[in-house]
Each structure stands twice: as structure tokens, then as C-alpha cells.
Chain A
């Protein structure tokens, strides 16, 4: 993009240029600012207020945040939600990404037949609504229907079965695995695309050098797609900390059992809108949202400074 500005454009009268830019950039910037950036800033501003007796708002500075992090009424669910979110994220990183890498690696093997069919099928769950996915799995795993139980029994693992979604100890991880099931298509496709980008001659050179397929994957292909895996990781992070739909669909706003599956998204929703147990509290909700924003921001900055700097995108 370092080419000189066209003479026609450079010699345009300033007023016309500004009008032109306003035409092209105006709509996008306006909508984006009005409905993305401004609400975010307004929310952060709102977080510094609290409702008073008359129903209006008064400025309270960081009081909401102090309550959020320290006051037992708010901080207990907050830290619970945050911890759960981290577990949620960990499961994705440990299960989703390796599976995505392996599937992408298998699909990128040269000469594989039916490649398109496999890709289409594996990506199918990603297209579905989370509501559908959540509910379907809820049914399948439900002891009432017995499908999962029957399937496990068929392979001799019947004793393993438990109403995982209903137990506080396993609900969160089960939901995380359902989310992995749905979304593994995305890292798979991104890594697959990156693997395709590796020139064939490089693989040929490695074959001539004496490497078998597995070694080629581990020593040549994998290091070259690490930047993509990094990208996938940060997208997973942002997505996980934004997650709400799945938990809500399966467990409702209360994210049971006993808040075991509560993550920041559901906590935010509950705080803002209220539910059977509490009234909606917009200012605290705003505080939660602000906290979420900074957590996500921290993660992204960490990624950009630590990971991005080390990883080089290789041009071929």
C-alpha cells in the first residue's frame, strides 16, 4: 500500500475530497460508532453510577467495582463466573484446538478422496444455532431418553454414564465439550487453509530429505501454521468470554445446577435483567460488562504483545 497517491486524487480540491470521504466512510463509521463504540463507552460510564431511592442515578465512582470484586453478595458469583469461564476456555484450548489440528492435518493429506464430503460434514454443526445444539444434546444426554446411555452400554462403558448436565461437578465441562463439538469446524477450516498455503515443493523437499508423513507434519507443517493456531486461540478466547447462548439455552439464566455452569455472559445477563431471584440492576450490569471488557482486552493485549511478536508469518 505504499504507492504514491494518484495524481487525480491528489489534485482534487479539498472540499470535494472531504465530501467524497464522508460519502464512502460516513455510513460505516456512523453505524459502527453509534451502535458499537458509543454503547461500550456509555456502559463503562454507567458503571460508575448507581440507582438511588428515587429511581434516578447518582455518581458513585468505582463503588460498583469494589462491590463486584470484594462485596460477598456480588463478588462470590463474579469470581465463580470468572473461574468457570477460565475452565470453559481451558477445555476449548485442550480439546478443540488439538482436534482441529489433527482433522486439518488429515484433510490436507495429498490425494485424499472424499475430502470435500468430510469437510462439509464436519463443519455442519458450526452452521447450526447454538439453541439447537444445546437442546439436542440436552435430549441426547438426558437419562430420560437414554440414547447416550444406550450408546455407552453398546461399547461396554455403560457404567460411565451419569446425568452429566445435571451434576454440579460435570455440568460446566460437559457444556464446554458440547461447545467444542459445535465449533471445532472453525479452527479446523482456518488451520486447513493455512496448511494448504504451504507450497508442495516444501513437502517434496522434506520427503527427499527422508521424512515420513508424521514427521513432515510435526516438523514442517505444524511450525508453519503456528501463527494461525495463535489466531484461533485468541478468537476462541474472545468467543468463550462472550459466550452466553449455549448456557442460556440449556440451563436458563440461572446457569445451574447451583450456578455451576455460570459464566460471565450469563452473570452479566442475570445482573442486568434480573430473574426470579433478584431484580435487574442496570448499573451493576454495566459494571460487569466493563469488567468483561477489560478482561478480554487484557487477553488480547497479552496475545498481541507476547505471542504475535514471536510468531512470524511466513511468506512463500
Chain B
């Protein structure tokens, strides 16, 4: 296993700039997830690390070695593809050993690695079957097995769970986490699903439009998102945003007012009168109970009951919706007007550019 470093990576396809100024440092044995909406560049970045596409500028180092100009096979990486990419005309065993043959691994060693990987992934009974005879989950395990036998320095996963059904996705997720602990592997994992990111990652890099918006530990991103994008991306359902303006600053306190919220008083901390900002509150921090700090009133339009937790969709004073998580059996009725509050310490503040002024916690 090895560490990985990406320095100043840029990529353009013709005149379209797909990746800008990517810098990422991944430690040996770390599980890093690249997450972001479609088109943010995460798969492109992964392909560049794999060596399948070349960057327009910048460098990549694996284990301290400069690999930017090297072919995929020379980088000691292994990749698990979204559609598994198993060779249809070869059985499972052959699929796993095929690449090893061409990198000069002796037959005895190949057999050993396959047996080991098959045991780890419970594939022993399937070794002689062909991909067309396997279920989606089995194919995925074979794809992972093919990566494991290469004994790479870095594992690359490209949205491996996207093609699986919901239940399988959860069990395979657990599988991948287990393998990470077992192999102490350096893993770079691409997904658009922020839940996968939060549960699997040691560190997450949230990407948008070719840039890394923020990289850090999952809970850091949750509690201290660096900007509006990350705040709205991490956490489900998404954070509620309320536009606000600093009405006045006096005695170390700032008074904020906004169309959809009650006036709010916060420590001034560098806030100037007349400054426009956005207040962010997560659905799980809004409550009907009495709280000092934030308050917003609205009409409850719809309540989705999921058992212990429910989500209330509330029409705000500025005609937008806010989402509130309600725990317990008592839920507000649709049609009712209610005031939802949140403690001041759970509030996030963002300036006009979307950057964080204050985080929660």
C-alpha cells in the first residue's frame, strides 16, 4: 500500500475545462471518497489517477514516485468499474488471473492469490462460472476480486454500487468497509451518493464543477461545511437556507433579519451592518420545542412519516419550502401553522459568496 498525491491537476477537453487546480494528499491506508453531483469531474479525476486519461497539467505521485506519464499497468493500481467490466468470454478464475499473466506473475503465485481473494470474497464456488451466469452482486465481488489479486498500491472504485439494488448496495457497502480494514488498503472511491461517502470514508473530497470544494473528515464536513455547496450537499435531507441581512450591530451583538425568519441575535464576530448573508439550519436541528436562537414560521404542507423519524415540508413566509425532521409519534398536522426553532449553536452563516462565516458546534 502507498500514499498518493495529486498536485495542481488540470484537465480540459477542447475548450471545456473539466478539472481545475486539483490538489489532494492521501495517506497510506486512507479511504478517500470523491463525491459530487454528475458532471463535477470526480470520475475524470479517478481516470487520471488510474492513467486511463492524461491530465492537461499537473502531476500525480503514487508512493512518492512520479507516475503522471506512466501507463495504468505501471502505476500499481487496480480499478473496480461501475459496470464491473468482466471479460464475458472468460470464467471467474480466468477473469481474475488474466492481467497477472501479462505482468509476469508465476502460475503458482497466481493460483495462490486467486484462492486468497476467493476466500475473502466467498467466491470459491463460483470460480468456474462465467459472468453471464452470475448475479449483479456476485459480478461485483468478482470485479473486486480481480482488483485484489493485483496487490496494488492503490484501489480505485468508480461508482461500484450504482448498478445494485438497494439492499445489495447496503450489504456490499459493508463488504467494502470490511475489506478496507482487512487489507489496510489505500482506497479512492467515487460516488454521487453522499450517504456512501459519509459511511465509508476516512476523508471526503466534495467536488463541484471541476473543483474540490472541501476535503476533510466526514463529520468535519457535516459540522463545518466550508461553503454553501458543501453545506447543501452533505446531510440528507439538505440544509435549509434562509437569506438574511445584518440590520444593526450594537454591544457586540448583531441583529439579523430575513424574509422567512424571525429576527435573530448573534455574537457580532466581525459582522458589519448592512452585510447580506445566508443562514443555514439542518432539518434535524429544527424543532417545535422552545429554543433560544433561530425561529421560522410556516404552514405545514406535507408530512412524510417514516416510522421514528418524519419529515415535515413547511411553506415559509417567503414562499419557499423548509424541511424539518420530527422525531417521535407526534407529528404536526398538514395545514397547521407552526413555528420551528433551532439553537443558535447549530446555525451556519455564509457570506454573499457562499463562504462560511460561522459553523455549527
A223-B89 contact, Cβ under 8 Å, with A208-B52, A208-B77, A210-B103: yes
Name A223-262 residues within 8 Å CB distance of B: 223-224
Across the interface, which residues of B come within 8 angstroms of A315, CB to CB?
88, 132
Q: How far is the CB of A134 from chain B (nearest CB, A)?
A: 41
Are A224 and B85 neighbours in the complex by a CB distance under 8 Å?
Answer: no
Q: How far is the CB of A82 from chain B (nearest CB, A)?
A: 36
Query: Which residue of chain B has its CB nearest to the CB of A220?
Result: B87
Are A209 and B73 neighbours in the complex by a CB distance under 8 Å?
Answer: yes
Across the interface, which residues of A come within 8 angstroms of B221, CB to CB?
none
A210 to B75, CA, bound (A): 10
Across the interface, which residues of B come within 8 angstroms of A224, CB to CB?
88-89
Across the interface, which residues of A come within 8 angstroms of B150, CB to CB?
209
User: How does the 8 Å CB contact mask read for B296-311 relative to A, with 1 for contact and 0 for none?
Assistant: 0000000000000000
Query: Which residue of chain A has its CB nearest to the CB of B83?
Result: A201
A209 to B81, CA, bound (A): 12
Q: Answer whether residue B317 sits at the interface, using C-beta atoms and an 8 A cutoff.
A: no
Name B47-93 residues within 8 Å CB distance of A: 47, 50-52, 71-73, 77-79, 81-83, 85-89
Q: How far is the CB of B47 from chain A (nearest CB, A)?
A: 8
Q: Answer whether residue B343 sits at the interface, using C-beta atoms and an 8 A cutoff.
A: no
Q: Answer whether residue A205 sits at the interface, using C-beta atoms and an 8 A cutoff.
A: yes
Are A201 and B82 neighbours in the complex by a CB distance under 8 Å?
Answer: yes
A207-B73 contact, Cβ under 8 Å, with A199-B83, A201-B81, A215-B102: yes
Are A208 and B79 neighbours in the complex by a CB distance under 8 Å?
Answer: yes
A208 to B100, CA, bound (A): 11
Q: Answer whether residue A202 sits at the interface, using C-beta atoms and an 8 A cutoff.
A: yes
Most buried by A among B77, B79, B103, B146: B79
B98 in complex: contacting residue of A201, A204, A209, A316, CB < 8 Å: A209
Across the interface, which residues of B come within 8 angstroms of A201, CB to CB?
81-83, 85
Tally of A-B residue pairs with Cβ under 8 A?
63
Main secondary structure of the interface of A (DSSP, over half): helix
Q: How far is the CB of A250 from chain B (nearest CB, A)?
A: 43
Q: Answer whether residue B99 sits at the interface, using C-beta atoms and an 8 A cutoff.
A: yes
Across the interface, which residues of A come within 8 angstroms of B83, CB to CB?
199, 201
Name B137-171 residues within 8 Å CB distance of A: 146, 150
Across the interface, which residues of A come within 8 angstroms of B51, CB to CB?
207-208
Number of interface residues of B (CB under 8 A): 25
Q: How far is the CB of B126 from chain A (nearest CB, A)?
A: 18
Query: Which residue of chain B has its CB nearest to the CB of A215?
Result: B102
Number of interface residues of A (CB under 8 A): 20
A205 to B50, CA, bound (A): 10
Are B88 and A209 neighbours in the complex by a CB distance under 8 Å?
Answer: no
Query: Which residue of chain B has its CB nearest to the CB of A316?
Result: B88
Query: Which residue of chain B has its CB nearest to the CB of A203?
Result: B85
Most buried by B among A204, A312, A314: A204
Q: How far is the CB of A282 from chain B (nearest CB, A)?
A: 51
Most buried by A among B88, B98, B132: B88
A208 to B150, CA, bound (A): 10
A209 to B146, CA, bound (A): 9
Are B78 and A211 neighbours in the complex by a CB distance under 8 Å?
Answer: no
Are B52 and A207 neighbours in the complex by a CB distance under 8 Å?
Answer: yes
User: How does the 8 Å CB contact mask read for A69-101 relative to B, with 1 for contact and 0 for none?
Assistant: 000000000000000000000000000000000
Q: How far is the CB of A211 from chain B (nearest CB, A)?
A: 6
A-B contact pairs, 14 of them (CB 8 A): A201-B81, A204-B47, A204-B52, A204-B85, A205-B79, A207-B73, A208-B99, A209-B98, A209-B102, A211-B73, A211-B99, A312-B89, A315-B132, A316-B88
Known: A201-B82, A208-B78, A209-B102; 12 extra A-B contacts, CB below 8 A, are A199-B85, A201-B81, A202-B87, A204-B52, A205-B81, A206-B99, A209-B73, A209-B99, A209-B146, A210-B73, A211-B102, A315-B88
List residues of chain B with CB under 8 Å of any chain A CB: 47, 50-52, 71-73, 77-79, 81-83, 85-89, 98-99, 102-103, 132, 146, 150
